[in-house]
Amino acid sequence: MKTFKIERPNAAMQTPLRFKIDNLTKPKGSLGTLEELALQVGLIQQTLSPSLKCPQNIIFCADHGIEAEGVSVSPREVTWQQTIHFTQGNGGVNFLCRQHGFQLKVVDAGVDYDLPTDRGIIDKKIRKGTRNFLYEAAMTEDEMNRCVEYGAEIVHQCHNEGSNVLSFGEMGIGNTSASSLWMTCFTGIPLLQCVGAGSGLNNDGIRHKYGVLKRALDNYAGDGSTIDIIRYFGGYEMVMAIGAMLQAAELGIIILVDGFIMTNCILAASKLYPEVLDYAVFGHCGDESGHRLVLNALQAKPILSLGLRLGEGTGAICAYPILDSAVRMINEMDSFVGASVTKYF
């Protein structure tokens, strides 16, 4: 697998950042999460005057072999239909990208369809969907390695285009099943608490989904290593996101983490390189069962809680204005000295 050189931000910068934030014209700590975010971005960028440039949202799309077991209420063809729909500009993620100034990149990581070549979709197709992990590994080692490399390549492209903040989304019927298995394997949280409704299963559907995933977990005969678990249960779009997140951290890019699936992707990435979490801003806590639990396992503090469960990067993009406010705070507010205001705390 491709290796990355991810360094923790130099903690020496924390003292001057704290001093600047604490001496803005406000009571200490009165802007709460904005102050925490400003500190984090300042540490990532190693500056007292951080900035957000050219935000982009990358959606990785792929199909899952486990879908054949009836673990999703949505049919398989929705993956390719939505992948094309994203390029038409009228999807859920599209209006949010327009609203908040995000460029959208759509990546075919492994969609089970011959997608049109004239829609701007980035072709990184590994295969037309993963294998069914109820019976065998979802992907080969070579396929996993290519996913990581392709995800990293796309982030390099964004970096060359001037981006220093990226959000990641996904489209793939069956990917909450893969995420639930990563979650239980990497956190030790019982599988039953990791399995939810996905795109809208009823209680009977959730019970069936749990039964299928429990059998898949019981059938797993791998070595239990992080890489093997990623390979055996993962989706092409999910492993591509891991490569993208790791590359973003290496380049000092802020990672806006979306919902249940992307949170499990950065969980998996952190099992390979724990330092990646220093670059992660968690956008929201969604409605998918287990999301709050995996956030807690990561000791993550999400910005929003709006009952979202669409994926596509939508929750991360919704949180972006709060991050922007934090950066504006540290750059645009006066200090007590500069404004000739007496400290009042």
Paired tokens of 36: 């925490």
Q: Which residues are catalytic?
A: 312
Q: Structure tokens of 265? A: 């992707």
Nearest 10 degrees: CA dihedral of 190, 218, 209, 256? 60
* Rounded distance between C-alpha atoms, residue 283 and residue 287, angstroms: 13
* CA quadruple 1, 11, 160, 244: dihedral, nearest 10: 30
Positive/negative CA dihedral, 63, 214, 242, 326: positive
What does the angle CA 34 – CA 35 – CA 40 come to, to the nearest 5 degrees?
Answer: 95
CB under 8 Å to 176, separation ≥6 — which residues? Answer: 72, 196, 198, 199, 260, 261, 288
Of the candidates 212, 298, 311, 305, the residue with the CA atom closest to the CA atom of residue 260: 311
